[in-house]
Structure 1
């Protein structure tokens, strides 16, 4: 049986009345599909609908085969272990009970045929580069990249026929991305992946573009899609130019026709005033002229309307993807000022490059790199005052430190986007907040969306807006994987803004082109054994 997902007239609306999808049709077959679209277009929502986590308001979703869904943010929970996340905790507990001599019917039923569940789980974790992650380890101690790979291992253990991946490369280092790519390449069933990662989208068989409530599928990978789209857009832009020319011509013809009609009307008035024609004949001619003029004007106006409608249709065919307009605060840190001092840094196996003290001065921009699980996020949280490192002391020498976490959990999900921003900038006026949010594409009613219903990309924009519009203006920014969930246009805008920022900056990222674009002045690498290591400039 060939497995597939079929969408028939699918519509979905959030509980606050915000429409997401309307009458969506489409099919995902037994191949690798890259699902792309602007932030907020409904990509993550569509995956959740296919997975059965949400129900459509109208239409039907037919899935042949079992479904596995890897969301952007996996539920962690303080008491969850890696075994819980893998979905084997119950089977494993029953297996251990039997080994202890508790040979009950319930325990045998819980184990079923999965007597080698621990070996298979260990094999999947090892294959995905996680040999150091034990099954009893608390999930909350994993890095974001490690958590994502454990979630992928859970799906590979289940082997569903339909695999849904939502931004799976978020927080992954280069080695983990390579292993993910290998898993994608070898997947035999239906695979739908939402991603902004070009390298991953170059490995798919087709691209599905979710735009303006429509799903269009293009054969081939991302470069093939971009080539086809470029040809399509060139034709659309030619059509716009032709339609604009026709509108101008019709407007000119209408103006000339109205001028001629006005001239004839003046001639008719002069003839009436001269008295050289009987009133009955003059009246008849006047009525005929008025009727002719009305028909003539209506004809030109109809032609103009038709031309304007063709122009509107042509303009709709041209893609105009908005990107965020990031305007960082006009703050400046003098070159000699000590922004941040971290003392007592330790390493299990220090080498000659290991740092015991980190001092940040002036408007330095520091890139913090390293493999998943090496402690980058832990260090960043310590710098932000959210976590203590034993024996380490952190002193911040400027006002307005702002921290962008990986999990974007700084918003109150019960409040609107505007109210969340207001909580960070209580002295800002309503107009100032609205104008600021507009630069992050939250215009009009979008600023009143409840934070809990935002997509991953929308949530990132809302968090970034809250941090950058905050009062006081930040002089030190700590950013943890800031390009996660952003489309290409928005990444470019963010990079340009950070390049012009005159405050201090510490960025954790695996996106090397992004780091090079923002003008990093100092490179630090986290190493599990050597701690914080100073890398030479690149």
Structure 2
């Protein structure tokens, strides 16, 4: 059982991340924790794991807990055994077998005579045969590093497992192993992930917001359905408020016109009646006060409706606010963009592919590039980008403009700020006010325009790149994407999906996210072996 009660957390600089968060997960339950990038999902997991201290609140854990962090380069200088915190026990075991059964070594081993056997079995369960405890993590691929950390679940057999983006670097086979584990495990599991196939394997969905967690009693598909109902109801409320505001403004205008006519008629009658000046002034002041009160009543009502409407619009999902404007006039379907005949690439005289490749890619095609880790996907991409020439065969390219998008959105220049990056892409020389309008459409308010690109989150980098493509004037003939969803939250994955659906050029995509691949309508597969 895992209980987080009234949890608050503020960064060391006193900025509050979230307040009064409550979460309960019973024995054997499996749940996902979702939310926008920067909402604090990883921080909350670290607090639950005891790696961070909450500013306020109470944590209760019944049973043992194991935490799998996101994998970057933080383990590269460590061995596999050090990463799994068994290095001292492995060393003691070896010392004892080598004839050095000191009191210290026996105490460290703590009668765990099966430690090496369990270590190898745990790694084999994740298909990491041949990797020993002394292997440096820096020599492993991203997927292998993730599997090392996941193998700790089998090694420690915890009651509660916390997983932070466990599928980020896994290939299809690795993800299948992860899905099987989630499906078959009897442990209590809490997952932070944007992998929808993984999120469909849980019992409950927690959505983290700044001051609360909203609980949905089902998997991610159930969550999406509920959010759609909420959005539809919100859109109905917006339409109703828009009609009410239009009606209120019409009444305000008609009332003002009617009052103006009455005031004009009253003034003429007063002039004809021959009343003394002081009496006429008194009547005029009364009429003006009455008119002013009437205007005030209508203005207050109109402002109240307008304020309510503004609040409703702000509540809309972010993706509903973005407008794409790709100019596809230079695209011509059916044109041969790449034609490779018997191509291969050699590393130290060893060819990458078992058989030479014959490929042809036409304008307008939407292609999934598949292959296990190390199968040469990146090499082929570099050939298509004209960064590499094949060692054998010929590759003809007839592409005028290609955009390459990696998982870090490195096409964004970290030396620039947000506005400067967009100005650099303004090849059609649109005026500055249009540039700023586009930034607002892509969810960059005015206080973000001076923000350094190096400080942007994955979702912000993606949205800025889409904004740059929109304002550049012409769509590229080809967009190549290499694991573009790895560092995006679910809302930004949806924004990217909408953009790629709107794009009419050629797509070449490397992604282990099966739902993303299906949603963007990839029609053909190139598989590397």
TM-score band (shorter)?
A: 0.7 to 0.9
Q: 2:339 touches 2:360 (CA, 8 Å); kept in 1?
A: yes
Could you tell which deviates more after superposition, 314-323 or 261-270? Answer: 314-323
Q: 1:368 to 1:238 in 2, by over 3 A?
A: closer
Matches within 5 A, 1:83-482: 83-187=81-185, 190-211=188-209, 214-321=212-319, 335=336, 342-344=343-345, 354-356=354-356, 367-371=368-372, 373-376=373-376, 379=379, 404-405=405-406, 418=418, 441-442=443-444, 444-446=446-448, 448-449=450-451, 454-458=456-460, 479-482=481-484
Task: Give the aligned partner of residue 5 of structure 1.
Answer: 4
Q: 1:492 aligns with which of 482, 493, 497?
A: 497
* Structure 1 residue 262 displacement after superposition: 1.3
Query: Structure 1 residue 440: deviation in Å?
Result: 6.2
Whether contact under 8 Å (1:418, 1:433) holds in the other structure is no
Q: Unaligned stretches of 5+ in structure 2?
A: none
CA gap 1:453/1:205 in 2 versus in 1, 3 angstroms: farther
Tell me, yes or no, if the aligned pair for 1:345 and 1:357 is still in contact at 8 Å: no
Q: State the Cα distance separating 1:153 from its structure 2 match.
A: 1.6
The question of whether the paired residues in 1 share the 8 Å contact of 2:407 and 2:487 is answered with no
* Residues 20 and 42 in structure 1, CA contact (< 8 A), matched pair in contact too: no
| In structure 1, C-alpha distance between the alignment counterparts of 2:111 and 2:214, rounded to whole Å | 42
Query: How far off is 1:89 after superposition?
Result: 2.4
Contact 1:42-1:455 within 8 A present in 2 as well: no
Q: Following the alignment from structure 1 to structure 2, what is the Cα–Cα distance between the partners of residues 341 and 257?
A: 80
Q: Distance in 1 between matches of 2:426 and 2:315?
A: 42
1:247 positional shift: 1.9
Q: Does the aligned pair in 1 maintain the 2:328–2:504 contact within 8 Å?
A: no
Alpha carbons 1:81, 1:138 under 8 Å: kept: yes
Paired position in structure 2 for 1:25 = 21
Shift in Å, 1:355: 1.4
| Aligned residue number for residue 501 of structure 1 | 505
Q: Distance in 2 between matches of 1:442 and 1:392?
A: 47
Q: In 2, are the aligned partners of 1:90 and 1:110 still within 8 Å (CA)?
A: yes
Q: TM-score, with normalisation over the residues of structure 2? A: 0.76
Match of 1:62 in 2: 59
Q: How far is the alpha carbon of 1:311 from its aligned partner?
A: 2.7
Per the alignment, do residues 272 and 411 of structure 1 end up closer, same or farther by CA in structure 2, a change over 3 Å counting?
closer
Provide Cα deviations, 1:279-320, integer angstroms capped at 9, x if missing partner: 343333223222322222222222223323333344344434
User: 2 CA distance for matches of 1:388 and 1:141?
Assistant: 24
Does structure 1 conserve the Cα–Cα contact (< 8 Å) formed by 2:65 and 2:158? yes
Whether contact under 8 Å (1:5, 1:62) holds in the other structure is yes
Q: CA offset at residue 208 of structure 1?
A: 1.7
Q: How far, CA to CA, are the matches of 1:426 and 1:286 in structure 2?
A: 59
Partners of 1:245 and 1:191 lie apart in 2 by: 47
State the Cα deviation string for residues 246-270 of structure 1 (Å, max 9, x = none).
2222222222222222122212321
CA contact (8 A) 1:20 1:41 kept: no
Deviation, 1:150, is 1.8
How far apart are the structure 2 equivalents of 1:325 and 1:107?
64
Q: Is the 8 A contact 2:340 2:393 kept in 1?
A: no
CA contact (8 A) 1:143 1:377 kept: no
What is the CA-CA distance between 1:3 and the residue it aligns to? 2.6
Structure 2 distance, partners of 1:380, 1:513, is: 24
SS of the aligned residue for 1:500 comes to: coil
Change (3 A) 1:340 1:99: farther
Asked if structure 2 preserves the Cα contact closer than 8 Å seen for 1:76 and 1:139, the reply is no
Whether the 8 Å CA contact 1:171–1:481 is kept in 2: the answer is no
**Displacement after TM superposition at 1:271 (Å):** 2.6
Any residues of structure 2 matched to 1:46-61 within 5 Å, and which?
46-51=44-49, 59-60=56-57
Do structure 1's residue 524 and structure 2's residue 527 form an aligned pair?
yes
Q: Which runs of 5+ in 1 are unaligned?
A: 527-538
Q: Distance in 2 between matches of 1:250 and 1:160?
A: 62
Inter-partner Cα distance in structure 1 for 2:327 and 2:87: 47
Secondary structure of the equivalent of 2:336? coil
Q: Could you tell me how far apart the structure 2 residues matched to 1:324 and 1:103 are?
A: 70
Distance 1:458 1:495 in 2: 16
Please identify, of 198-207 and 374-383, the stretch whose mean Cα deviation from structure 2 is larger: 374-383
Q: Is the 8 A contact 2:245 2:305 kept in 1?
A: yes
Q: Is the 8 A contact 1:366 1:520 kept in 2?
A: yes
Q: How many residues align?
A: 512
CA RMSD of aligned residues (A): 4.8
